[in-house]
Structure 1
Amino acid sequence: MPLALASFATSLISGRRLHGKSSRAILATGLLLSGTGCALQAGLDADSSAGSLAVGLALIGIGVGLMGPAMGAAVFAALPPERGGRAAGAMTTFRQLGQTLGVAAFSLLFQHDGGAMSEGLNRVLTAAAAAGIIGSVLAHAFVPKPAPAKATSAPAHRNLTGPR
Protein backbone atom coordinates (compact mmCIF):
# COMPACT_ATOMS: atom_id res chain seq x y z
CA MET A 1 0.00 0.00 0.00
CA PRO A 2 2.70 2.59 0.81
CA LEU A 3 4.39 2.04 -2.56
CA ALA A 4 1.18 2.26 -4.58
CA LEU A 5 -0.17 5.31 -2.74
CA ALA A 6 3.16 7.17 -2.89
CA SER A 7 3.55 6.40 -6.59
CA PHE A 8 0.00 7.47 -7.42
CA ALA A 9 0.17 10.71 -5.42
CA THR A 10 3.63 11.62 -6.71
CA SER A 11 2.77 11.04 -10.36
CA LEU A 12 -0.37 13.17 -10.01
CA ILE A 13 1.53 16.02 -8.41
CA SER A 14 4.75 15.79 -10.41
CA GLY A 15 3.03 15.66 -13.79
CA ARG A 16 1.76 19.22 -13.37
CA ARG A 17 4.36 20.78 -11.10
CA LEU A 18 7.40 19.50 -12.95
CA HIS A 19 6.08 20.11 -16.47
CA GLY A 20 8.82 21.79 -18.45
CA LYS A 21 11.54 20.91 -15.95
CA SER A 22 14.62 18.87 -16.80
CA SER A 23 13.71 15.22 -17.45
CA ARG A 24 17.36 14.43 -16.77
CA ALA A 25 17.22 15.67 -13.18
CA ILE A 26 13.79 14.16 -12.52
CA LEU A 27 14.78 10.71 -13.84
CA ALA A 28 18.06 10.75 -11.90
CA THR A 29 16.22 11.77 -8.71
CA GLY A 30 13.52 9.14 -9.19
CA LEU A 31 16.09 6.38 -9.69
CA LEU A 32 18.08 7.55 -6.69
CA LEU A 33 14.99 7.56 -4.46
CA SER A 34 13.96 4.10 -5.68
CA GLY A 35 17.45 2.74 -5.10
CA THR A 36 17.59 4.30 -1.65
CA GLY A 37 14.20 2.77 -0.79
CA CYS A 38 15.48 -0.68 -1.78
CA ALA A 39 18.67 -0.13 0.23
CA LEU A 40 16.63 0.76 3.32
CA GLN A 41 14.77 -2.55 3.04
CA ALA A 42 17.82 -4.71 2.30
CA GLY A 43 18.70 -5.37 5.94
CA LEU A 44 15.20 -6.06 7.20
CA ASP A 45 14.38 -9.38 8.82
CA ALA A 46 11.51 -11.03 10.69
CA ASP A 47 12.08 -8.77 13.73
CA SER A 48 11.77 -5.53 11.71
CA SER A 49 8.73 -3.34 12.25
CA ALA A 50 6.08 -2.60 9.65
CA GLY A 51 7.15 1.05 9.79
CA SER A 52 10.64 0.09 8.62
CA LEU A 53 9.15 -1.61 5.60
CA ALA A 54 6.73 1.24 4.90
CA VAL A 55 9.48 3.89 4.71
CA GLY A 56 11.40 1.98 2.04
CA LEU A 57 8.26 1.21 0.07
CA ALA A 58 7.15 4.85 0.18
CA LEU A 59 10.54 6.03 -1.11
CA ILE A 60 10.36 3.55 -3.97
CA GLY A 61 6.83 4.76 -4.76
CA ILE A 62 7.91 8.39 -4.82
CA GLY A 63 10.78 7.51 -7.16
CA VAL A 64 8.50 5.54 -9.49
CA GLY A 65 5.94 8.36 -9.43
CA LEU A 66 8.60 10.86 -10.48
CA MET A 67 9.98 8.68 -13.26
CA GLY A 68 6.69 7.83 -15.00
CA PRO A 69 5.87 11.24 -16.46
CA ALA A 70 9.55 12.15 -16.91
CA MET A 71 10.30 9.07 -19.03
CA GLY A 72 7.65 9.98 -21.56
CA ALA A 73 8.84 13.58 -21.66
CA ALA A 74 12.47 12.53 -22.19
CA VAL A 75 11.59 10.10 -24.98
CA PHE A 76 9.33 12.52 -26.82
CA ALA A 77 11.82 15.38 -26.48
CA ALA A 78 14.52 13.28 -28.13
CA LEU A 79 12.62 12.86 -31.40
CA PRO A 80 10.76 15.12 -33.79
CA PRO A 81 6.96 15.20 -33.27
CA GLU A 82 6.24 13.21 -36.44
CA ARG A 83 8.02 10.23 -34.84
CA GLY A 84 5.92 10.30 -31.66
CA GLY A 85 4.22 6.99 -32.45
CA ARG A 86 7.55 5.23 -32.84
CA ALA A 87 8.80 6.80 -29.64
CA ALA A 88 5.77 5.61 -27.68
CA GLY A 89 6.05 2.12 -29.15
CA ALA A 90 9.77 1.85 -28.41
CA MET A 91 9.33 3.16 -24.86
CA THR A 92 6.54 0.68 -24.12
CA THR A 93 8.46 -2.22 -25.65
CA PHE A 94 11.68 -1.53 -23.75
CA ARG A 95 9.80 -0.93 -20.52
CA GLN A 96 8.13 -4.33 -20.77
CA LEU A 97 11.37 -6.00 -21.81
CA GLY A 98 13.16 -4.46 -18.81
CA GLN A 99 10.46 -5.65 -16.43
CA THR A 100 10.59 -9.18 -17.85
CA LEU A 101 14.38 -9.39 -17.67
CA GLY A 102 14.34 -7.85 -14.20
CA VAL A 103 11.96 -10.51 -12.89
CA ALA A 104 14.15 -13.24 -14.40
CA ALA A 105 17.38 -11.80 -12.96
CA PHE A 106 15.92 -11.15 -9.52
CA SER A 107 14.42 -14.64 -9.37
CA LEU A 108 17.90 -16.07 -9.89
CA LEU A 109 19.17 -13.93 -7.01
CA PHE A 110 16.25 -14.93 -4.81
CA GLN A 111 16.86 -18.67 -4.97
CA HIS A 112 17.62 -19.66 -1.42
CA ASP A 113 19.09 -23.19 -1.71
CA GLY A 114 17.77 -24.30 1.67
CA GLY A 115 18.75 -21.07 3.45
CA ALA A 116 16.41 -18.48 4.86
CA MET A 117 14.15 -16.72 2.37
CA SER A 118 15.20 -13.40 3.89
CA GLU A 119 18.74 -13.96 2.56
CA GLY A 120 17.42 -14.22 -0.99
CA LEU A 121 15.21 -11.19 -0.52
CA ASN A 122 18.15 -9.19 0.82
CA ARG A 123 20.21 -10.15 -2.26
CA VAL A 124 17.38 -8.96 -4.52
CA LEU A 125 16.95 -5.68 -2.63
CA THR A 126 20.70 -5.03 -2.61
CA ALA A 127 20.89 -5.61 -6.37
CA ALA A 128 17.84 -3.39 -6.93
CA ALA A 129 19.40 -0.66 -4.78
CA ALA A 130 22.62 -0.85 -6.79
CA ALA A 131 20.68 -0.78 -10.07
CA GLY A 132 18.72 2.30 -8.97
CA ILE A 133 21.77 4.20 -7.79
CA ILE A 134 23.86 3.28 -10.85
CA GLY A 135 20.88 4.09 -13.06
CA SER A 136 20.65 7.50 -11.42
CA VAL A 137 24.28 8.24 -12.28
CA LEU A 138 23.77 6.98 -15.86
CA ALA A 139 20.60 9.05 -16.30
CA HIS A 140 22.44 12.14 -15.13
CA ALA A 141 25.33 11.39 -17.49
CA PHE A 142 23.45 10.32 -20.62
CA VAL A 143 19.97 11.85 -20.71
CA PRO A 144 20.41 14.99 -22.80
CA LYS A 145 20.22 18.34 -21.10
CA PRO A 146 17.10 20.27 -21.98
CA ALA A 147 17.51 22.73 -24.82
CA PRO A 148 17.58 26.34 -23.68
CA ALA A 149 14.25 28.07 -24.09
CA LYS A 150 14.18 30.22 -27.20
CA ALA A 151 12.95 33.74 -26.82
CA THR A 152 10.05 34.18 -29.19
CA SER A 153 8.97 37.51 -30.47
CA ALA A 154 5.30 38.31 -30.65
CA PRO A 155 3.88 37.64 -34.12
CA ALA A 156 2.99 40.67 -36.15
CA HIS A 157 -0.69 41.53 -35.92
CA ARG A 158 -2.56 40.39 -38.99
CA ASN A 159 -5.88 41.71 -40.05
CA LEU A 160 -7.88 38.54 -40.59
CA THR A 161 -10.97 40.28 -41.91
CA GLY A 162 -9.30 41.64 -45.04
CA PRO A 163 -9.21 45.18 -46.34
CA ARG A 164 -11.94 47.60 -45.27
Structure 2
Amino acid sequence: MQISAKADYAVRALVELAADSARPLTCEGIASAQDIPFRFLKSVFRDLRQAGLVRSQRGCEGGYWIGRDPAAISVAEVMTAVDGEFLTLRGARPDTLAYPGAARRLPDLWRAVEAAAQSVLGRTTIAELAAEGAAGTEGAEDMASQRTGPGSSVRDVSPAVPA
Protein backbone atom coordinates (compact mmCIF):
# COMPACT_ATOMS: atom_id res chain seq x y z
CA MET A 1 0.00 0.00 0.00
CA GLN A 2 1.32 3.41 -0.89
CA ILE A 3 0.29 6.71 0.66
CA SER A 4 0.86 9.61 -1.73
CA ALA A 5 3.18 12.49 -0.91
CA LYS A 6 0.18 14.76 -1.40
CA ALA A 7 -1.81 12.95 1.32
CA ASP A 8 1.18 12.91 3.67
CA TYR A 9 1.81 16.63 3.17
CA ALA A 10 -1.88 17.46 3.60
CA VAL A 11 -2.11 15.63 6.93
CA ARG A 12 1.15 17.19 8.17
CA ALA A 13 0.00 20.68 7.17
CA LEU A 14 -3.35 20.28 8.96
CA VAL A 15 -1.63 18.94 12.07
CA GLU A 16 0.65 22.00 12.02
CA LEU A 17 -2.40 24.30 11.70
CA ALA A 18 -4.21 22.48 14.51
CA ALA A 19 -1.18 22.70 16.80
CA ASP A 20 -1.02 26.50 16.42
CA SER A 21 -4.59 27.65 15.87
CA ALA A 22 -4.25 31.03 17.61
CA ARG A 23 -3.15 32.75 14.40
CA PRO A 24 -3.07 32.12 10.68
CA LEU A 25 0.05 30.37 9.45
CA THR A 26 1.70 31.09 6.13
CA CYS A 27 2.27 28.42 3.55
CA GLU A 28 5.98 29.24 3.72
CA GLY A 29 6.01 28.78 7.49
CA ILE A 30 4.23 25.43 7.32
CA ALA A 31 6.47 24.24 4.48
CA SER A 32 9.55 25.17 6.49
CA ALA A 33 8.30 23.68 9.77
CA GLN A 34 7.35 20.38 8.12
CA ASP A 35 10.14 20.24 5.52
CA ILE A 36 7.64 20.16 2.65
CA PRO A 37 8.39 21.65 -0.80
CA PHE A 38 6.67 25.05 -0.86
CA ARG A 39 5.35 24.83 -4.45
CA PHE A 40 3.86 21.39 -3.83
CA LEU A 41 2.25 22.55 -0.57
CA LYS A 42 0.51 25.40 -2.36
CA SER A 43 -1.30 22.92 -4.63
CA VAL A 44 -2.18 20.77 -1.59
CA PHE A 45 -3.73 23.83 0.10
CA ARG A 46 -5.83 24.46 -2.99
CA ASP A 47 -7.41 21.00 -2.59
CA LEU A 48 -7.79 21.42 1.17
CA ARG A 49 -9.50 24.78 0.70
CA GLN A 50 -11.93 23.33 -1.86
CA ALA A 51 -12.81 20.57 0.63
CA GLY A 52 -13.42 23.14 3.39
CA LEU A 53 -10.60 21.78 5.53
CA VAL A 54 -8.69 25.09 5.54
CA ARG A 55 -9.62 28.68 5.01
CA SER A 56 -7.30 31.44 3.89
CA GLN A 57 -6.92 35.11 4.67
CA ARG A 58 -5.08 37.50 2.37
CA GLY A 59 -2.89 40.41 3.38
CA CYS A 60 0.04 41.05 5.68
CA GLU A 61 -1.79 39.36 8.57
CA GLY A 62 -2.90 36.57 6.26
CA GLY A 63 -2.27 32.89 6.02
CA TYR A 64 -4.19 29.68 6.56
CA TRP A 65 -6.50 28.59 9.37
CA ILE A 66 -7.90 25.15 9.92
CA GLY A 67 -11.39 25.19 8.38
CA ARG A 68 -13.23 23.07 10.97
CA ASP A 69 -12.80 21.63 14.40
CA PRO A 70 -9.69 19.41 14.09
CA ALA A 71 -11.41 16.81 16.30
CA ALA A 72 -13.99 16.39 13.51
CA ILE A 73 -11.43 15.92 10.69
CA SER A 74 -10.22 12.36 10.15
CA VAL A 75 -7.03 11.41 8.35
CA ALA A 76 -9.18 9.39 5.91
CA GLU A 77 -11.17 12.53 5.04
CA VAL A 78 -7.97 14.47 4.38
CA MET A 79 -6.58 11.72 2.16
CA THR A 80 -9.80 11.57 0.16
CA ALA A 81 -9.86 15.37 -0.19
CA VAL A 82 -6.46 15.47 -1.89
CA ASP A 83 -6.33 12.09 -3.67
CA GLY A 84 -9.94 11.35 -4.56
CA GLU A 85 -11.00 7.76 -3.96
CA PHE A 86 -9.65 6.29 -0.73
CA LEU A 87 -8.25 3.11 -2.29
CA THR A 88 -8.16 2.03 -5.90
CA LEU A 89 -6.58 -0.86 -7.72
CA ARG A 90 -5.47 0.09 -11.23
CA GLY A 91 -8.03 2.91 -11.07
CA ALA A 92 -10.95 0.70 -10.00
CA ARG A 93 -12.67 0.65 -6.60
CA PRO A 94 -12.22 -2.68 -4.77
CA ASP A 95 -15.99 -3.16 -4.56
CA THR A 96 -16.21 -3.24 -8.38
CA LEU A 97 -13.55 -5.92 -8.91
CA ALA A 98 -14.25 -9.50 -9.95
CA TYR A 99 -11.54 -11.97 -10.95
CA PRO A 100 -12.05 -15.34 -12.64
CA GLY A 101 -10.92 -18.77 -11.54
CA ALA A 102 -8.38 -19.30 -8.81
CA ALA A 103 -8.07 -15.56 -8.09
CA ARG A 104 -11.81 -15.04 -7.55
CA ARG A 105 -11.35 -14.39 -3.79
CA LEU A 106 -8.62 -11.79 -4.25
CA PRO A 107 -11.07 -8.83 -4.52
CA ASP A 108 -12.39 -9.85 -1.07
CA LEU A 109 -8.88 -9.40 0.31
CA TRP A 110 -8.56 -5.96 -1.30
CA ARG A 111 -11.92 -4.96 0.22
CA ALA A 112 -10.75 -6.17 3.64
CA VAL A 113 -7.53 -4.16 3.32
CA GLU A 114 -9.54 -1.07 2.39
CA ALA A 115 -11.91 -1.59 5.33
CA ALA A 116 -9.03 -2.00 7.78
CA ALA A 117 -7.23 1.11 6.53
CA GLN A 118 -10.49 3.09 6.49
CA SER A 119 -11.19 1.97 10.05
CA VAL A 120 -7.82 3.11 11.41
CA LEU A 121 -7.54 6.32 9.40
CA GLY A 122 -11.23 7.15 9.85
CA ARG A 123 -10.87 7.02 13.65
CA THR A 124 -7.66 9.06 13.73
CA THR A 125 -8.29 12.80 13.91
CA ILE A 126 -6.12 15.79 13.18
CA ALA A 127 -6.69 16.97 16.78
CA GLU A 128 -5.33 13.70 18.18
CA LEU A 129 -2.23 13.90 16.03
CA ALA A 130 -1.62 17.54 16.97
CA ALA A 131 -2.05 16.82 20.69
CA GLU A 132 0.23 13.77 20.54
CA GLY A 133 2.83 15.72 18.57
CA ALA A 134 2.79 18.48 21.18
CA ALA A 135 3.14 15.93 23.99
CA GLY A 136 6.12 14.25 22.33
CA THR A 137 6.58 10.71 21.15
CA GLU A 138 5.88 9.03 24.50
CA GLY A 139 2.38 7.95 23.49
CA ALA A 140 3.15 6.67 19.98
CA GLU A 141 2.82 2.99 20.95
CA ASP A 142 -0.35 3.70 22.94
CA MET A 143 -1.82 5.56 19.96
CA ALA A 144 -1.15 2.62 17.64
CA SER A 145 -2.65 0.05 20.00
CA GLN A 146 -5.75 2.20 20.60
CA ARG A 147 -6.43 2.35 16.87
CA THR A 148 -5.70 -1.27 16.01
CA GLY A 149 -6.08 -3.10 19.31
CA PRO A 150 -3.41 -5.22 20.97
CA GLY A 151 -1.60 -7.45 18.52
CA SER A 152 -3.66 -6.24 15.56
CA SER A 153 -2.43 -6.03 12.01
CA VAL A 154 -3.87 -6.12 8.54
CA ARG A 155 -3.38 -9.88 8.70
CA ASP A 156 -5.95 -9.98 11.53
CA VAL A 157 -8.57 -8.80 9.01
CA SER A 158 -7.95 -11.61 6.54
CA PRO A 159 -10.03 -14.24 8.39
CA ALA A 160 -13.04 -12.02 7.61
CA VAL A 161 -12.54 -12.83 3.92
CA PRO A 162 -15.31 -15.31 3.04
CA ALA A 163 -14.22 -18.83 2.14
Larger relative contact order (Cα-Cα within 8 Å, sequence gap ≥ 6): 1
Greater fraction helix: 1
Q: TM-score, normalised by structure 1?
A: 0.33
Q: TM-score, normalised by structure 2?
A: 0.33
Greater fraction strand: 2
